[in-house]
Amino acid sequence: MPTRDSNLDALAIKVPQVTLLFWIIKILATTLGETGGDAVTMSWLGETTPEAKAGGYLIGTAIFGVIFIAAVLVQIIAKKFHPFLNWRTTVATTTVGTTLADYCDRSLGIGYTGGSAILLSCVIGSLLIWCWSTGSISIETVSTPQVEIFYWVTIMFSQTLGTALGDWVADTNEMGYTGAAAVFGGLLLLTALLYYFTSISRVILFWAAFILTRPLGAVVGDFLDKPLAQGGLALSRYTASLTLLVVIVALILIFPQKPASKAH
């Protein structure tokens, strides 16, 4: 009789193998999510200008929410791993995460601390329900529609949490974008050291690193496009987003990726 593991092996795993390239593209994708989300809500809808349109963050969230749902559906329908489909969906989670976090923190007035606490609860809750329903939260099991939904919902919550957490550390604690980037970069380095020199669960460390890459990308994105007076480089959000997109596409084309396996 075939075992549960053998049945899983027979199915196509539709997420990339976790390598250094994976983490590089992930950080670039989260940075793109920040600049891209801000380009729509802050530049196009003018949320941070005197001409702000009412509900700009909500409108931006609705736009990117539709894109996110469509991307997830296409990803689920696909029969095997496609790098461009996977990273397109990942970018969709980062953009909707950016605008949703801004809507909760600013439009609803929850604030960075409250928003981060609520979103952290959502991430943990999603992982617990996923584990309870399927018996594992490892990416090597992302090969069925049910698990894919858990995977992408968890990622969407983690991307939203990352935006709120990045803003909280950079703004509320007055560390600035470079200081916040150093904090999250240091935590990622610590996670890597724990991976190589301890026996802590690899699955837990993966999700810890995955979550930490989002606030790192958020503060780097803010550093690129925020005004000089706020500690940023004042680059065009459209130019920064296009540049990041080109780099991501180039990396995907130049360095072929394989689907995740038990070897990761």
pLDDT in tens, 85-107: 999 999 999 999 999 998 988 88
**What gap in Å lies between CA 142 and CA 103, rounded to an integer?**
30
3 band by pLDDT with thresholds 50, 70 and 90: very low
Q: What is the pLDDT of residue 210?
A: 94
pLDDT in tens, 162-203: 888 888 888 776 788 889 999 999 999 999 999 999 999 999
Q: What is the pLDDT of residue 10?
A: 43
Contact 240, 28 (CB under 8 A): no
Q: What is the pLDDT of residue 173?
A: 67
pLDDT in tens, 156-165: 999 999 888 8
Report the alpha-carbon angle 203-208-5, nearest 5.
Answer: 15
**What gap in Å lies between CA 80 and CA 72, rounded to an integer?**
14
User: How far are the Cα atoms of 62, 78, 84, 151, 212 from residue 218, in angstroms, in the given order?
Assistant: 20, 29, 22, 21, 10
Enumerate the H helices of the chain as residue ranges.
Answer: 4-10, 20-38, 56-77, 83-102, 111-134, 145-167, 176-197, 202-225, 237-254
9 pLDDT above the threshold of 60 = no
5 pLDDT above the threshold of 50 = no
Q: Looking at this protein, which amino acid is placed at residue 99? A: T
Least confident of 21-25, 34-38, 55-59, 245-249: 55-59
Beta bridge partners of 16: 259
Share of the chain above pLDDT 70, in %: 92
State the first-to-last Cα distance of the chain, in angstroms, to the nearest integer. 27
263 band by pLDDT with thresholds 50, 70 and 90: very low
Q: Looking at this protein, which amino acid is placed at residue 75? A: Q
> What secondary structure letter does DSSP report for 65?
H
Contact 260, 16 (CB under 8 A): yes
Q: What is the pLDDT of residue 7?
A: 46
- Considering only residues 1 and 134, tell me which one the structure prediction assigns the higher pLDDT: 134
**What gap in Å lies between CA 109 and CA 84, rounded to an integer?**
36
**What gap in Å lies between CA 28 and CA 10, rounded to an integer?**
32
